[in-house]
Amino acid sequence: MKTTGDGLIVEFGSVVDALRCASEIQAGMAERNATVAPDDRVEFRIGLNVGDIVVEDGDIFGDGVNVAVRLEALAEPGGICVSARVQEDAAGKLDLAFEDLGEHQLKNIARAIRVFRVMTETQPLSKPTVPLPVPDKPSVAVLPFTNMSTDPEQEFFADGIAEDVITALSRYPSLFVIARNSCFAYKGKAVDVKQVGRELGVRYVLEGSLRKAGNRIRVTAQLVEAETGKHIWAERYDRDLADIFGVQDEITEAVTIAIAPAINRAERQRAMRMPPANLDAWAAYQRGLWHFSKVTREDNALALQYFKQATDTDPNFSGGFKGLAWAYMHAAGVLATHAAAEAHSLAEALARRAVELDPADAEARSTLSEAMLWSRGDYDGALTEAERARAMSPNLAFAYATLAAALIFSGNPPDGLAALQTSLRLDPQTPNLASRMNLMACGLYLSRKYEAAVEVAKGVVRSNPD
């Protein structure tokens, strides 16, 4: 139909003819390039699709053409990518095989398209790669968000969200987050999350898209377990674009706050499926967290066992020491199974060990803040550690909760209650909700808001009668 600078758009009456032509072109180019220096070679990418077209003034338009263009962009140099319809129509009619690349959301195409790579002698199955080992802690790669809008300026907005999410997640001590440059190497490419997981050595992949209509914007995000392709979490955000940077910050915060708990839930479920004898330090720690979250005497005793197993398995893993400190503080202050003075003193020693092992761990700093408060009433020390934790990880709910406790009991309940509200906003489904609300009742009491304190306390008793 026409040339497009460095390309051609060609219409065929037969799928078989189109695919035969494409494969013969690529075979001919490979033969020609065999004697040409790499820097001097001309290599083609070809995309094939079957679909309706609109003919106008000697040109063709429509989704049928647009999909073919996107498929061409997915192909490697010297390669051919086709839609599922092409693969179905041509299967068995030519001496060619196909590699299923899965469904892809192509730019400016509303529906997902299943893509196949044509396998030839010159274009073998995917290049072999050596999978990177997956770290012990949960690992995540944030892929560039796809701009589904016809407005090219939204590309910067989409990139900004992905970059900000990477930065925000990097502040979580419990996560291993792949750097921006490695994640953005996949920009504009068709990706298979399983392949991304292998190539980057991660357990989870976050992908998303952005679409603009008028003065409204829609951002979707989904978290996928790379090994299985299972969706862990997905959400959609609709916003007005009155303040584009404000919207970017708001969506980044919302996505970040949702992802960390989703990963934690998935990690605990994974640990619960493993036989106890096969648990490594991280899995034992996650198993301990699962029991710790139940807030019963029996489960807290099991949590202590699994946290101890984590420290025995890896004495340099700070998570096990944090977990032991939490469980001892719960045993003394919540469940009344241990003498308070002894348990709180032990908790402080364990928290200090966690900080020594990982001084940049905001959770360890928060744990030490809480332990210093309960073991010795060290308000200044507790405030210092809580502030350090908040500075290290501005979206860590636990940091705000320990800051709230230090403020409330050191004579500043109004600021403490404000910090507590931030903690509850960041983690509204925390398994420690009863303790957080108990802290709120104390803050209201010390603010002389007695009726409000009574109502909150009654609510805690109703939700946790034990």
Domains of the chain plus CATH, in order, are: 2-119 (3.30.70.1230), 139-271 (3.40.50.10610), 275-463 (1.25.40.10)
Low-confidence ranges of the chain (pLDDT < 70): 108, 120-132, 276-278, 429
Per the CB < 8 A criterion, the answer to whether 151 and 238 are in contact is: no
The pLDDT score that the predictor gives to residue 120 is: 63
Report the amino acid identity of residue 269: Q
Residue pLDDT, tens place only, 256-286: 878 877 887 787 777 777 776 667 888 888 8
The pLDDT score that the predictor gives to residue 341 is: 92
Exposure letters 189-217 (e unless 16+ CB within 10 A, then b): ebbbbbbbbbbbbbbbbbbbbbbbeeeeb
Instruction: In whole angstroms, give the CA distance from residue 293 to residue 207.
Output: 29
The pLDDT score that the predictor gives to residue 126 is: 43
Strand pairing report for 216-225 and 230-240? antiparallel
The pLDDT score that the predictor gives to residue 266 is: 80
A 10 A CB-CB count for 455 gives: 12
Instruction: In whole angstroms, give the CA distance from residue 148 to residue 172.
Output: 30
| Residue 263 burial class via C-beta count within 10 angstroms: exposed 0-12, middle 13-18, buried 19 and up | buried
Residue pLDDT, tens place only, 131-156: 667 777 788 999 988 888 777 777 77
